[in-house]
């Protein structure tokens, strides 16, 4: 199975796996699954951290790189795909993650 972690799931998977629901944690830890995280999540966390809205370890990016996850770059095709999404989410980060999932993870 391929899965793209949303921003909260990425933070929890790296720093507080006990906050994940048991099935989610099991799926993330199952080596047979391909687990992805987005550069958009890193961007979102950088913005929130820079504003003092969240506190992250300075090694967050290193921890993400060391995890058995694959980073998805943010591409123009992902940004363009946002236009075809239904207006369910107004959060731009949620929308780009949904577009990346459609374009890359579940192609």
Over the stretch 4-42, which tens digit does the pLDDT of each residue have? 999 999 999 998 899 999 999 999 999 899 999 999 999
Counted domains in the chain: 1
The count of residues in the chain is 107
- Which residues span the domain enclosing 92? 2-105
Sheet containing 70-72: which strands, arranged edge to edge? 2-4, 34-38, 70-72
Alpha-carbon span 82 to 94, nearest angstrom: 10
Domain of residue 78, CATH code: 3.40.50.1010
Question: Rounded mean pLDDT of 37-55?
Answer: 92
Least-confidence region, from 48-52, 72-76, 86-90, 95-99: 86-90
């Amino acid at each position: 199975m391929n899965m793209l972690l949303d921003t909260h799931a990425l933070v929890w998977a790296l720093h507080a796996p006990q906050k994940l629901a048991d099935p989610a944690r099991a799926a993330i830890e199952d080596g047979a699954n391909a687990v992805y995280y987005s550069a958009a999540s890193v961007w979102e966390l950088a913005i929130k951290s820079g504003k003092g809205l969240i506190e992250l370890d300075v090694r967050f990016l290193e921890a993400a790189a060391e995890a058995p996850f694959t980073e998805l770059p943010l591409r123009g095709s992902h940004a363009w795909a946002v236009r075809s999404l239904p207006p369910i989410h107004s959060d731009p980060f949620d929308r780009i993650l949904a577009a990346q999932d459609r374009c890359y993870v579940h192609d």
